[in-house]
Structure 1
Amino acid sequence: MQVLQVQLTVEPDPAEVGRARRWARSRLAKSGVAPEEPLVETLVLIISELVTNAVVHTGCPAVLRMLFSVGSSGPSRGTVRVEVADASTRPPLPRCAASDEMGGRGLELVDGLADRWGWQPEGAGKRIWCEVDRAAPALGGRGTDGRVVRVTG
């Protein structure tokens, strides 16, 4: 099994968020992920949130990467990894936004949609990553014990 990695440099401009979403859809389609697969919308939302955070909170260019397993017949049902690396050393800080606030929910959304996420130092900056397991349905929420619960549509 091989891992396919694609990446896009994102400038510190809010217009780049839409470009990153379009790029992600295009790369997923070219990699054999069907547009109607729920995974596509999940990944595009995660990418939108992570790129928005990089653009809004760092003022630095960033690199968006998608990595997924590819077998001889195309993408496998394995894990898709999304990474956003930037030159800011400031760690991502999840917060609880008040109900009347316009922002502040990005990492909460990533936490709810991704199977795993985290961050680590990278060079002079950091890399925020998340993973979505393709075999699991992409809809769900958290159970009373805090674990991610998946539901089928």
Structure 2
Amino acid sequence: MTSLSTQVHVHCVGHPAYSQSFPCAPSTAEIGRRVLRDVLGIWRLDNLDDVTERATLIVTELVANAARHTSCQEIRLMVRRPSATRLRVGVQDRAPARLPTLGQADDDDESGRGLVLIDAVADRWGYDLHGSGRRPWGKEVWAEIRITGEA
């Protein structure tokens, strides 16, 4: 039995996707990792340890960044398979003016390495603005992992 709090709907067409809203708080990272593992299990990707480890690190860092750098009350975790060989993990918030930048943390800094870690474990990452071009209402910061091996 999965711990997903909402029912997963299976569609006969398109690519699998799951999303759920959570409080924008550091503690959401733990919930997000659990949800991600459940989704990977449903998609029968949970036997791919490398994918699971990389994706859970990405969830942790994306949630931490949203909690730290936005004043949003809520975020949306999104897990998708845009193709048979790719997994996309994203966090959507309502702070389109706070765009992610790949920074440089000093050795003694306690933070500032989130996107550096994501850049190291993801095959690619970026962000998409949501809403009209002149007045976006939010953004999704995402990272993709290539899926190799048998699922």
* TM-score normalised by length of structure 1: 0.78
What's 1:132 paired with?
145
Out of 130, 135, 138, the position equivalent to 1:122 is 130
Which segments of structure 1 move beyond 4 Å, counting only runs of 4 or more? Answer: none
**1:98 Cα deviation from its structure 2 partner:** 0.6
Corresponding position of 1:65: 78
Deviation at 1:2, TM superposition (A): 3.6
Q: Output the CA distance in 2 between the equivalents of 1:92 and 1:55.
A: 13
Partner of 2:60: 48
Structure 2: any 5+ residue segments left out of the alignment? 1-12, 132-136
1:130 match: secondary structure: strand
Secondary structure (helix, strand or coil) at the match of 2:67 reads helix
| Cα shift at 1:37 | 2.4
Q: What SS does structure 2 have at the residue aligned with 1:46?
A: helix
Counterpart residue type for residue 90 of structure 2: E
Q: Distance in 2 between matches of 1:3 and 1:104?
A: 33
Q: CA RMSD of the aligned region, Å?
A: 1.8
Match of 1:28 among 40, 55, 78: 40
Indicate the SS of the match to 2:79. strand
Assess if the C-alpha contact under 8 Å between 1:84 and 1:129 holds in 2.
Answer: yes
Q: Does 1:102 align with 2:115?
A: no
CA distance in 2, matches of 1:43, 1:127: 16
Identity %: 32
Structure 1 segments unaligned to the other structure (5+ residues): 71-75, 137-153
Q: How far apart are the structure 2 equivalents of 1:35 and 1:135?
A: 11
